[in-house]
Amino acid sequence: MTRVVLGSASTGRLRVLRRAGLDPLVVVSEVDEDALIASLDADTPPEVVVAKLANTKAVAVAAKLPADVAADCIVLGCDSMLFHNDALSGKPGSAEAARRQWTSMAGTTGYLLTGHALLRISNGVITHTDSETASTTVHFGTPADDELAAYVASGEPIHVAGAFTLDGLGGWFIDGIQGDPSNVIGISLPLLRRMSSRAGLEVLSLRRRNMKPRRQRPD
């Protein structure tokens, strides 16, 4: 059975995959994202930055898989950042940084970029690698001062890329998007389907093999 391994601690990504019928094994990469970004050239395109982060995470996870999983699996590495005003923004990390982020992007448009890396592993050897970045255009609303204060106080925007969510409290302040909504949450299902196909795996087959068994309802 080809196992699906998610190299991310993101509850949003895990939720997207589970709702799509997968129940992946979660293995956190523990990659130092800030150090990796600092090592890149300043003129590295934003799409390449998130792709490099995703690939580094996937490789780090692949290196520590137990033998039974590495016998037949795919490893998914992802990284999401917001490209806005010609700059990339990750997780704010503090309430003040989240407030500043929202002050700058309220009423404007940004691009949520998610780098995706897929490794196929057979008998402990990486036999296929793929990397691609998905972009979704996000139109931000303008929360009132008291609304923004309450949102920041909730703690949600502090720990998510770009200081917002689409499927959480932040959804109140997103006026619209153009593109794949699952990408905004952290993993693009359409892109994952295409990448799986290029690895020789049909996503519906992965779904059957990795989904949780349904409980039988009593008659």
Has residue 189 been placed in a domain? yes
Which structural domain, as residue segments, surrounds residue 53? 3-210
Q: What is the dihedral of CA 93, 156, 165, 203, to 10 degrees?
A: 90
Confidence (pLDDT) at 205: 80
Q: Determine, yes or no, domain membership for 218.
A: no
Rounded-to-integer distance, Cα 96 and Cα 98, Å: 5
Question: Do 130 and 102 touch, CB atoms closer than 8 A?
Answer: no
pLDDT tens string 41-69: 989 999 999 999 999 999 999 999 999 99
Distance from CA of residue 130 to its chain's centroid? 16
Which among 10, 17, 6, 132 is positioned nearest to 69, based on CA atoms? 6
How far is residue 70 from each of residues 25, 109, 121, 124, 126, measured CA to CA in Å? 12, 41, 6, 5, 9
Residues in the chain: 219
Domain presence at residue 194: yes
Residues in contact with 148: Cβ distance below 8 Å, sequence separation at least 6, in sequence order: 99, 102, 103, 106
Beta carbons within 10 angstroms of residue 192's beta carbon: 26
**What CA–CA distance (Å, rounded) separates 118 from 24?**
14
Is the torsion defined by CA of 26, 31, 34, 38 positive or negative? negative
Give pLDDT tens digits along the chain (219 positions).
899 999 999 999 999 999 999 999 999 998 999 899 999 998 999 999 999 999 999 999 999 999 999 999 999 999 999 999 999 999 999 999 999 999 999 999 999 999 999 999 999 999 999 999 999 999 999 999 999 999 999 999 999 999 999 999 999 999 999 999 999 999 999 999 999 999 999 988 887 666 555 444 443
Q: Give the CATH number for residue 188.
A: 3.90.950.10
Which residues are identified as catalytic?
A: 79
How many domains does the chain divide into? 1
Instruction: Yes or no: say if 76 and 4 are a contact pair by the CB < 8 Å rule.
Output: yes
With respect to residue 215, please indicate whether it lies within any of the assigned structural domains.
no
pLDDT at residue 206, rounded to an integer: 80
Domain assignment of residue 217, yes or no: no
Answer yes or no: is 219 within a domain: no
Domain assignment present for 183: yes
Q: Is the Cβ–Cβ distance between 185 and 138 less than 8 Å?
A: no
